[in-house]
Structure 1
């Protein structure tokens, strides 16, 4: 059954193109290690919640947008095995700037990440 890595991340509105460029560069690396799908979704209609919401989850600052993203894998074992291989891939060292992530067009410290086992998946 499918496995999903999900992410929400705050991105300065002016960095939308730069963020997409990073995602586009990352996709072939993930695909090479078994990822079957990758979606990046830019905030279009994110409401403030009464108790919690996407904005509070990432401590959204003025001028930032929330990106909701997910990657699909055949299973958890493939996703887990891919992680270390992707991090060791030389493209990760050469295509994304400083190793500490300071060149990224988003604040990775406020990214929310999780892995999920799919319990239902339907498509029309």
Structure 2
């Protein structure tokens, strides 16, 4: 079976990482309720390789930010599209995300996130 994934990279202020983690643990459950097969987010640890552009450079990370790399696995692109629609209208998401996007304490800024849907190349 050829799955489809959504992938993303974003900066999170180091001092808000615990709060971010608490929120995305619930977000992952919501995605799975709406059709995701799996949901992963990892914090960058070894992000430099000579001769390449690093994730921190790509998203212009600040000194006090960590890089989060994540992906959500779906059965197909169609299942992903349906899940995206359902998650976008799930009222729990609004309640969860609102504190993270408060301008006075910006934890998550979608304008600084790289995102895309991906079909299999090698499995």
More moved, 57-66 vs 45-54: 45-54
Distance in structure 1 (CA, Å) of the matches to 2:73 and 2:106: 23
Distance in structure 2 (CA, Å) of the matches to 1:14 and 1:93: 22
Q: Give the helix-richer structure, 1 or 2.
A: 2
Does the 8 Å CA contact 1:48/1:55 hold for their aligned counterparts? no
Distance in structure 2 (CA, Å) of the matches to 1:95 and 1:65: 20
The size of the alignment, in residue pairs, is 120
> Which residue matches 1:105?
107
Q: Which runs of 5+ in 1 are unaligned?
A: none
Cα deviation, 1:50-97, whole Å, max 9, x if unaligned, reads 352211211111111111111100011110111111111121123332
SS of corresponding position for 1:41: strand
> Which residue matches 2:10?
9
TM-score normalised to structure 2 length:
0.87
Does the 8 Å CA contact 2:30/2:87 hold for their aligned counterparts? yes
TM-score normalised to structure 1 length:
0.86
Q: For residues 46-57 of structure 1, what are the structure 2 equivalents within 5 Å?
A: 46-47=47-48, 49-57=50-58
SS of corresponding position for 1:106: coil
Q: Which runs of 5+ in 2 are unaligned?
A: none
Give the 4+ runs in structure 1 shifted more than 4 A: none
What do you get for the CA RMSD once the two structures are aligned?
1.9
